[in-house]
Amino acid sequence: MSSWRSTFNSLKFKLIVGLVITILPLIVILILMNHYSADVVRKQVAQSNKNLLSLYLGQIDRSLQEVDNYLINMSQTNMDLLEIDQPQTMDPNNYTKAKLRLFNTINNDLSFYSSLDMIFIYSEKNDDLLVTQRGGKGYNERNVVAAEIKRIVQDSQFKMDVNRWSTRQVGGEYYAYHIIKTGQVYVGAWMEAGKLIVPLQLINLGSSGMSLLATDEMEPMSLQETISSHGIRLTAAEEPYALTGTKTRYLMMAEHSRKGAFYLFALIPEKTVMEQLPYLQRIASAISLAALLLLVVFIIFMRRVFLLPIYRIIKAMRKLGDGNWNSQIDQYPTSTEFELMNRTYNQMITEIEHLKIHVYEEELNHQRAELKHLQLQINPHFFLNALNIIYNLATVKDYKLIQEMTRCLVEYFRFMFRSNSYLVTLKDELLHTKNYLRIQELRFPGIMSYGIEAPDAALVCMVPPLVIQTFVENVIKHTVDMDRRMHIDVRVGIESGEQGERMVIRIEDTGPGFPEPILRQLQEQGNLTKDEGEHIGIWNVRRRLQLLFDQQASIAFYNNTDGGAGICIRMPVLHS
């Protein structure tokens, strides 16, 4: 509800609605009237010219049919064609006589078909071509056409259509031809495509109208430059006409020949057609255009003076709402009131950004302090147990084990005292864990054993310090007793998924497993810490992973089916 009220109460709405309500109905009525009358005139002119187009195309098809009848009759009745269908070497004299008779025949018959340029006969067995042409054609042109005819009939892709004339471009000019095959002899006719549209010169297409032939692929056979320069796109529309052209718009009518692989097009300039509209229709068009221009000018003026400055402020406020605090408004020449609003807004954003940076830095410092504090939490009982082990070994004078125990303790405490960084290599973490496990193995001789596995590629990756040792310590604290043997396995691997590479650390033992209430609380991430510090190590690791990786790290607790507890830690792979 408030959104609608805000829209109706906006400056944009109030300034434009009044003018639109006044002018828009008049504009719509005038445009509809003008469009309707123009469409009626176009359809009448197009239908009239399309009928003429069909009439003249029928005349063209009839002339082509006459040539077809001549070619079919010759291929079926002239016995000399059988003679030149035989190898010339069989009877050279009869072959030569047959060629002369055929040449005289087609030379005489050419005069009966004014539109034809050539009649030709080609013997495929003898690779011999007879061509007769109308006077006025140059020798070079005759040779070019003769070579093209040979290429056509010798082409392996050539498919002869008895009922259709084909088109071909030779030397930049388009020609129409028809070939009929009898045995291994080809009889055909050849003509310039332009001669087919001579009758269309009688159609009144206006001073700049045009008629032309086009191939089935809509390539114009003539007036190519004119078609291209005017941006005319030839199409065979199902409607009586189509409008085309960029420079000048044309009414385009098209008819396809029944005898040839080509279209006949007629193009009439639209302005020639519109000259037939009444004078009143032109006045209506002028009024509509003037009213529309007035509305456009008013909207542009309102947009520049009022709406654009408001839009810039709204855009900056939307960015601010999306969390982009660097949403300053650029300074543009505008009204004094808007300049004051922009300047005030930019000052406010600058102050907010500075305040946010200070708050962020304080929060970051707090997280760093908390992480360092968590890393330095050490179980004091471990010190006592370690000293007690050394005391017992000294009592039995086992100096070799005292030396090993002392070395393990030195490495252990060296790692602990230097682990004030956020991340260490997996190799260092595993060495530290191994030292710890060896100390516990000396503490529980013959009762506890362990194994550590990790691929070499993972050893250089970075992990939070004490993330493995903490869980190993927890296993020993709650699982090891003097009545049964126990084995601890630490396995590290790398897996790939939708979130990229992740490190997987599994810590499993052969003890009795987690009690069901404890396991349920661990899986639900319940708080197990007590006043005396029980289970604080698990909370410690969870908190450090959250601070370092947010939601990208996880810890899963489970019991194995064959006994023993398991812990699986997943975290992003961080390279050193």
- Model confidence over 99-137: pLDDT tens digits? 899 889 888 888 888 888 888 898 888 888 888 877 656
Instruction: Using pLDDT thresholds of 50, 70 and 90, give the confidence band for residue 488.
Output: very high
In this predicted structure, the answer to whether residue 10 has a pLDDT above a threshold of 90 is no
Q: Are residues 386 and 506 in the same domain?
A: yes
d(CA 477, CA 534): 11
Q: What is the pLDDT, as a whole number, of residue 504?
A: 94
Q: Are residues 159 and 25 in the same domain?
A: yes
Instruction: Using pLDDT thresholds of 50, 70 and 90, give the confidence band for residue 11.
Output: low
Q: Are residues 152 and 298 in the same domain?
A: no
Q: Are residues 356 and 429 in the same domain?
A: no
In this predicted structure, the answer to whether residue 394 has a pLDDT above a threshold of 90 is no
- Say if strands 166-170 and 173-182 run parallel, antiparallel, or are unpaired: antiparallel
User: What is the radius of gyration, based on Cα positions, of the chain?
Assistant: 48
Q: What is the pLDDT, as a whole number, of residue 329?
A: 73
Q: Are residues 246 and 131 in the same domain?
A: yes
In a domain, 9, yes or no: no
Q: Are residues 521 and 406 in the same domain?
A: yes
Q: Who's near 357: CB < 8 A, 6+ residues apart?
A: none
Residue tagged 């529980």 (tokens): 444
Q: What is the pLDDT, as a whole number, of residue 535?
A: 60
Q: What is the pLDDT, as a whole number, of residue 562?
A: 83
Question: Looking at the 3D structure of the chain, how many domains does it have?
Answer: 3
- Model confidence over 502-538: pLDDT tens digits? 999 999 998 888 888 888 888 887 655 554 444 667 7
Q: Are residues 81 and 159 in the same domain?
A: yes
In a domain, 1, yes or no: no
Q: What is the pLDDT, as a whole number, of residue 556?
A: 92
d(CA 371, CA 540): 9
By CB atoms closer than 10 A (0-12, 13-18, 19+), residue 251 is buried
Report whether 453 contacts 492 (CB < 8 A). yes
Most confident range, picked from 8-12, 239-243, 303-307, 315-319: 239-243
The residue from 309, 343, 371 where one domain ends is 371
Where is average pLDDT lowest: 132-141, 271-280, 286-295? 271-280
- Model confidence over 332-380: pLDDT tens digits? 776 676 777 777 777 777 777 777 666 656 665 665 555 555 445 555 5
Q: Are residues 395 and 510 in the same domain?
A: yes
Instruction: Using pLDDT thresholds of 50, 70 and 90, give the confidence band for residue 420.
Output: low
What SS3 state is found at 398?
coil
Q: Are residues 451 and 512 in the same domain?
A: yes
Q: Are residues 307 and 441 in the same domain?
A: no
* φ and ψ of 269, to 5 deg: -60, 135
In a domain, 486, yes or no: yes
Q: Are residues 72 and 27 in the same domain?
A: yes
Where is average pLDDT lowest: 13-27, 462-476, 487-501, 537-551? 13-27
Q: Are residues 499 and 523 in the same domain?
A: yes
- pTM higher than 0.75 for the full model? no
Q: What is the pLDDT, as a whole number, of residue 528?
A: 56
d(CA 248, CA 274): 13
The residue from 328, 348, 371 where one domain ends is 371
| Mean per-residue pLDDT, 148-153 | 84
CATH of the domain at 416: 3.30.565.10
In this predicted structure, the answer to whether residue 142 has a pLDDT above a threshold of 50 is yes
In a domain, 8, yes or no: no
Instruction: Using pLDDT thresholds of 50, 70 and 90, give the confidence band for residue 79.
Output: confident
Instruction: Using pLDDT thresholds of 50, 70 and 90, give the confidence band for residue 192.
Output: confident
The residue from 230, 248, 277 where one domain ends is 277
* φ and ψ of 182, to 5 deg: -135, 115
Half-sphere exposure (Cβ direction) of 352: Cα atoms closer than 13 Å: 14
In this predicted structure, the answer to whether residue 443 has a pLDDT above a threshold of 70 is yes
Q: Which domain holds residue 348?
A: 280-371
In a domain, 3, yes or no: no
Arithmetic mean of pLDDT over the chain:
78
Tell which wins on pLDDT, 125 or 209. Answer: 125
Q: What is the pLDDT, as a whole number, of residue 531?
A: 44
Q: Who's near 513: CB < 8 A, 6+ residues apart?
A: 519, 559, 560, 563, 564, 565
Return the DSSP state at 455. -
d(CA 185, CA 99): 12
d(CA 100, CA 103): 5
In a domain, 212, yes or no: yes
